[in-house]
Amino acid sequence: GGLHLGKINRYFVERYSFNPDCTVIPSTGDNPSTILALPLKPSDAMVSLGTSTTFLMSTPNYKPDPATHFFNHPTTPGLYMFMLCYKNGGLAREQVRDAINEKVGKDASAGPWANFDKATLETPAMGQKTESDPMKMGLFFPRPEIVPNVRAGQWRFNYNPKDQSLTETDAGWDRPWDEARAIVESQMLSLRLRSRGLTQSPAEGIPPQPRRVYLVGGGSRNRAIAKVAGEILGGYDGVYKLDVGENACALGAAYKAVWAIERQPGQTFEDLIGRRWKEEEFIEKIADGYQKGVFEKYGVAVEGFERMEQQVLQQESSKLGKTDHK
């Protein structure tokens, strides 16, 4: 990714006034450029919490799946870039937020997310007030989703991990209050489900997980979301808010160009950019990552979440089949 392909052609110098000393290097795509916006180490994860949700991770493990994307790492041999893309991100969370505000009333002085955050933090993990209670989990898709590939809709389930029973029901749900935490958990459990097997243990006796989780986009400012992200995804060193301006893609491309032009023979991208990277200017730790017991509890929830997705897909496929035969 850092090869010198030669000087720019004279045509561009004469036609567009490029500097004749301009060096041409291999280009890369927008998502690979985004992962270069900071010197990510292997198993670091970046979660973009915008209107949609994008999950990027640098990993030495190549395990392709129809629901995911794998790229050769744009700068580092032996590493791959793992990517997940979801349609339903910020819009889905906003719908739950608005439903809560409509029901309990909105305090203008506290901001539009105050009630959502309160509900998220006050609701126990997976909605379980006691260990004997079922886990509340759901899918909240105001738009047709890519992962899993399913129509727009909402589905709520109760999952009992002891006997692995899964029941589609609203029973026991305090709607929309319980849905604040449930939607954040749903989005993060999907990320954990599809990235497991790609992470490694960061220390002896610690289960496989990202070393760090970096949050970008509008949702990264929400501390309640960050807290749940750390509880579910882990992040041995913690959860960090990454502030690299409005265009991480352009910044990553610029870093790649600097590395290609200025590196010493054999010098890696991570080494050159890492030496110039001023961490304190760009990142802020906003939540704890791995918490023993909590992380493992969500590991149990992932199994139920996977079964829930499969059941919804089977139900929708069956409905589609009946429609086709009419």
Q: Following DSSP, what letter does each residue of 35-48 receive, concatenated? A: HTTTTPPTT-EEEE
- Distance in angstroms (rounded) separating the CA atoms of residues 179 and 157: 12
The string of pLDDT tens digits covering residues 223-233 is 999 999 999 99
Q: What letter does residue 209 receive in the DSSP assignment?
A: B
Q: What is the pTM of this model?
A: 0.91
Q: How confident is the model at residue 218 (pLDDT cuts 50, 70, 90)?
A: confident
The answer to whether residue 234 scores a pLDDT higher than 90 is yes
Element of type H or E holding 160? strand 153-160
139 burial type by CB count under 10 A (0-12 exposed, 13-18 middle, 19+ buried)? buried
Domains of the chain: 28-248+289-326 (3.30.420.40)
Per-residue pLDDT tens for 277-311? 888 888 999 999 999 999 999 999 999 999 999 99
Instruction: Note the pLDDT of residue 326.
Output: 55
Whether 211 has a pLDDT exceeding 80, the answer reads yes
CB 166 within 8 A of CB 155: no
**What are the b/e assignments for 219-245, b being 16+ CB within 10 Å?**
bbebbbbbbbbbbbbbbbbbbbbbebe
